[in-house]
Structure 1
Amino acid sequence: MDVDKLFYRYVIKNLFVDPCEVKFWDGEVVIYGEGIPQFRINFNEPIAKLEVFTDPYMAFGEGYMLKKIDIVGSVQKVIESLYKNRSSFLHQKKGYKKLFEIFSNSIRESKENIQFHYDIGNDFYRLWLDETMTYSCAYFKSPEDSLLQAQRNKVAHILRKLNLQPGQTLLDIGCGWGELIIAAAKDYQSKALGITLSSEQYYKTVERIENEGLQDMVEVQLIDYRELEGRTFDRVVSVGMIEHVGKAHLNSYFSAVSSLLNENGVSLLHCITGYKELAINSWFNKYIFPGGYIPAVQELVWLMAANGFYLIDLESLREHYTRTLEHWIKNFEGSLTLAMKIKDETFIRMWRLYLNSCAASFHSGNIDLHQFLFTKGVNNNWPLTRINMYS
C-alpha cells in the first residue's frame, strides 16, 4: 500500500462521527464506522500530506474546489459530521489564524473586501436569493413559510422591534439591495437612508427606489459608515454588516452609531456571533469573506455598555439561519444550468462548499445569529412588553 493511502486511511478513521464510505484514487472503497454509510467521499487524487497537516481547511477546501475530492450525498451532512467530532485533529485549530490582528480594515480595504464578495454580479445572486434579493437570515413564523415570506417576516420583525413611528428617520448601515429601507417607507412612512460599499447593490437599490416612486422618502449612498457626517437619526439598523468591520474597529462602529443616533434613539444589530473569540478559517478568508471577523456575544454586549448604550432585547435566530441557508442551497442547486453560463465550475464548487459549510456551522452550534436591540441613553417611554414585536 502506498504511503499516501496509509496516511489518508489513518486521518479519515478519526475524522467523522457518522459512518461513511471512502473511495480512493486507485478505486479501493473503504467503509468507516458502524451502520449504513451516510455519505461517500471520493478522492480523485491525493492531496499533499504537508498541506493537510499545515492547513487542513485550506487543503480540503481547495481540494473540493479543484475536484481532487468529490462528495456523494449531502455536503452539509459531511461538514456537520466533521464539526461534531470534537476529538478530530481539525479541532486542534490547524488552519486557523488570528487574521483579525493583521487586517486593518481601513475605509479603502473595507470597500475592496465588500466588493470582493458582493460585486460578483447581481445576476448570480438573483439565481438563488428570493425576489427581494435579501442576503441575510430570514425569519420563519412557520415551517411552511416560503423563503420570500420568511424574508418579509424578518424585515417586518426588525421594524416592529424598532417600534418605528411615522415620520421618524431610519439609517440602514449595509443596506444590501434595499428591501428594509423601502419597507420602512412604504409600511411605516419613515424617511430612510441606506448606505453600502457595494456598487452593484447601490445601483440596484437606486433602481428599486425609482420604480417604487419613493425618491422623497428613501435614499441610498455609496459610502462607508465612518464617512457619514452631519446627520442624525431616530433609528439605526445594521443587518449582516458588522461581521465585515473587523475586531479592531468594533468599538469605532458603536461610537459611530452613538454619534448617528438622536438622544433616546434606538438601534438594532443583526449579526452572526460566536460564544468566544473566533479565529478565522483561512479558506473562508481567502475565498469568501476577506477581512471578516465573527464577534463574541459578550464582546458586543460589553462594547454596547462601554459606549453608553442600554441593551433592551436579545434574541437568537440560529436555526432560522440554518433553514435560510437550506433554502439558498436548494435554489442554488436548482439553478446550476444558468449559473454555469456566468460562472466557471471552480467558482460553483466554491460557493456550494461555502453555503453548505455555513448551514452546517449554524445547525451544529459552531456559530449563532443574534439580534441586539439597544437605546442611546435611558428610554423610559419604551413599551413595557414585547407585544409590539409580535402583533
Structure 2
Amino acid sequence: MALHAYLRRVIREGDLTVRLPGGEAIVLGDGTGMAIRAIITSRRWLARIAANPSMALGEAYMEGGLVLESGTIHDLIDLAGRNARYRPLKRAGALQRWWLDRRLQANARRQARANVAHHYDLSVDLYRRFLDVDLQYSCAYFPHPAASLEEAQVAKKRHLTAKLLLARGQRVLDIGCGWGGLALSLAEAAQVNVDGVTLSTEQLNLARARAEAAGLSDRARFSLTDYRDVAGPYDRIVSVGMFEHVGRPNYQTYFDQVARLLADDGVAVIHSIGRADGPAFTQPWIAKYIFPGGYIPALSEVLPCVERAGLIVTDVEILRLHYAETLAAWRARFQARREEIAALYDERFCRMWEFYLSCSEMAFRHRGHFVFQLQLAKRIDTVPITRDYIGEAEARLATPARRVAAA
C-alpha cells in the first residue's frame, strides 16, 4: 500500500504504531521515545488520509476518524515535526503560485473582512480562556526562560515601544490592533495618540470598551477600517501579527501605504511570522479551517517591496523560538480550560484548535518558522546608529505603572 511506504519513508525516528481498519498495525520509527498509538477508524478515512495527508489528517482528528490510544495529538504532531527533515518541503511552481495568489491570497476588501471574521470574530470568552490578561494574540518575548506568559507579553509590548522611539503627543497608527492592548499601553506609557484599525467587529467593540474603562478614549481611538483606507500622516506606525493576513499579491500595496502614511521623520515597526527556508505555501488544513487568506512570508518576498516603497530598513530582529514557547503556553491553558471551551463551542471545535495550536508550535520548533521585526524609516538618520537605545528604553519602561483595564 502506498500509505505504508510513505509513512515508513517519512517517520524514521520515535515510536509510532498506526492501527488500520481490519486490525493491521504499522510500526514506525526506531523505537525511541514515547510510545504513540494511533487508530484510523474506517477505510473511508484511511483512503482520505492516503490521498491527501496534509488536509485529511487534521480533518480525521476533528471528526473522530483518527483516535489516539496512547499519547496526544500534540505528541503525534511533534513526532512528525522531528521527522520533518525526511519529508521534502513542497514549493509552488510558477503556475501554481499564480493560481494560489489569485484564488486564495488576493484578499480584496470584502474577502479580507470575511477572512478576519472567520477567526477573530469568535467569542472573546474563548480567547480569555487561554491568552494572557491583556489578550495579546501574537508572539510573546521571553527575556528569560522562566518568564510567565504574562511577563513575556508585557516584555513584547515594551520591546516594540522601545523600537518605536515614541515622544509625547505623537500620532501613532496600530494596523491590526486586536483587542486594543498594545494601543492602550502605548497611549498610557508614552502619552501618545493612537488610532487602532481592525476588521473584526468583536475586537473593535472590546477595544473601545477597554479604552473607555481606562479613561483613555481621548487618546486611543479604534475603528473598523481596512489598512488600505487609512488617511495619514502618522509619526509612528506599528503592526503586530497582521501582516500574515495581507496576502502575497498585496505586499507592495501594503508597504506603499506604510510609506505614504509615515511622516518624513517617522518610524514604523512591523512584527510578523516569517519562514527561514524561502517562499512556499500555506498549509492546506490551516488555510481552510483556521486562517483563510493567510500566508507566512519569506523575507526575500518582503524586502524587495520595502525597497520599492522607498523605505529604509533600520533594524531587523529575528525571534526564533519565542513563538514556540508562546504557543506551548496557550496550548497548556487551552487544555486546562478545555471543558469550558467545549461548553462554549463543542468537542469538534476543541479538537480543531488542539490540532491548530500543536501544528503551529511544531512549525516554529521544527519547520523553520520564526518572527521578524522590521524597523523602517524614510531617513537614514531617524534612529540612533547603535541598538543601545532599545535596552535603555526597556529599562525605563519596566518601572511599575498603572495597568490598563483588561475588560
Does TM, scored on the shorter chain, surpass 0.5? yes
Q: CA deviation at 1:377?
A: 3.0
In structure 2, distance between residues paired with 1:381 and 1:7: 59
Q: CA deviation at 1:301?
A: 1.4
- Where 1:210 maps in the other structure, the secondary structure is helix
Alignment pair present for 1:204 and 2:202: no
Preserved contact between residue 308 and residue 377 of structure 1 (Cα < 8 Å):
no
Question: Structure 1 residues 252, 344: closer, same or farther in 2, change over 3 A?
Answer: same
Q: CA deviation at 1:93?
A: 6.3
Letter in 1 for 2:251: L
For 1:1-391, list aligned pairs within 5 A: 6-16=1-11, 17-27=13-23, 29-38=25-34, 39-48=36-45, 51-71=48-68, 72-86=70-84, 91=89, 98=97, 99-103=100-104, 104-229=106-231, 231-275=232-276, 276-378=278-380, 380-391=381-392
In structure 1, distance between residues paired with 2:156 and 2:258: 22
Preserved contact between residue 272 and residue 295 of structure 1 (Cα < 8 Å):
yes
Q: CA deviation at 1:35?
A: 2.7
Preserved contact between residue 243 and residue 293 of structure 1 (Cα < 8 Å):
yes
- Using the TM superposition, name which of 126-135 and 78-87 deviates more: 78-87
In structure 2, distance between residues paired with 1:92 and 1:185: 44
Letter in 2 for 1:261: L
Paired residues, what number? 382
Preserved contact between residue 8 and residue 28 of structure 2 (Cα < 8 Å):
yes
Letter in 2 for 1:34: D
Q: Please give the TM-score of this superposition, normalised by the length of structure 1.
A: 0.92
- Where 2:136 maps in the other structure, the secondary structure is coil
Task: Give RMSD over aligned pairs.
Answer: 2.0
- Using the TM superposition, name which of 73-82 and 304-313 deviates more: 73-82
Q: Deviations over 1:29-51 (max 9, x none)?
A: 55322234522222222345653
In structure 2, distance between residues paired with 1:34 and 1:332: 32
- Where 1:128 maps in the other structure, the secondary structure is coil
Question: Structure 1 residues 212, 86: closer, same or farther in 2, change over 3 A?
Answer: closer
- Using the TM superposition, name which of 13-22 and 135-144 deviates more: 13-22
- Using the TM superposition, name which of 141-150 and 173-182 deviates more: 141-150
- Using the TM superposition, name which of 215-224 and 100-109 deviates more: 100-109
Preserved contact between residue 237 and residue 269 of structure 1 (Cα < 8 Å):
yes
In structure 2, distance between residues paired with 1:290 and 1:137: 20
Letter in 2 for 1:283: W
- Where 1:58 maps in the other structure, the secondary structure is helix
After the TM superposition, which parts of structure 1 deviate over 6 Å for at least 4 consecutive aligned residues? none
- Where 1:110 maps in the other structure, the secondary structure is helix
Letter in 1 for 2:196: G
Q: 5+ unaligned residues in a row in structure 1: which ranges?
A: 1-5
Preserved contact between residue 77 and residue 362 of structure 2 (Cα < 8 Å):
yes
Q: CA deviation at 1:303?
A: 1.2
Letter in 2 for 1:172: D
Q: CA deviation at 1:26?
A: 4.1
Q: CA deviation at 1:81?
A: 2.9
Q: CA deviation at 1:195?
A: 0.4
Q: Deviations over 1:248-300 (max 9, x none)?
A: 11100001111111112111010011231121222111101111111111221
Q: Deviations over 1:217-254 (max 9, x none)?
A: 1100111011112x211110110101111111110000
In structure 2, distance between residues paired with 1:319 and 1:306: 31
- Where 2:267 maps in the other structure, the secondary structure is strand
Question: Structure 1 residues 28, 54: closer, same or farther in 2, change over 3 A?
Answer: closer
In structure 2, distance between residues paired with 1:178 and 1:359: 25
Preserved contact between residue 174 and residue 240 of structure 1 (Cα < 8 Å):
yes
In structure 2, distance between residues paired with 1:247 and 1:290: 13
Q: Please give the TM-score of this superposition, normalised by the length of structure 2.
A: 0.88
Q: Percent identity?
A: 34
Question: Structure 1 residues 152, 89: closer, same or farther in 2, change over 3 A?
Answer: closer
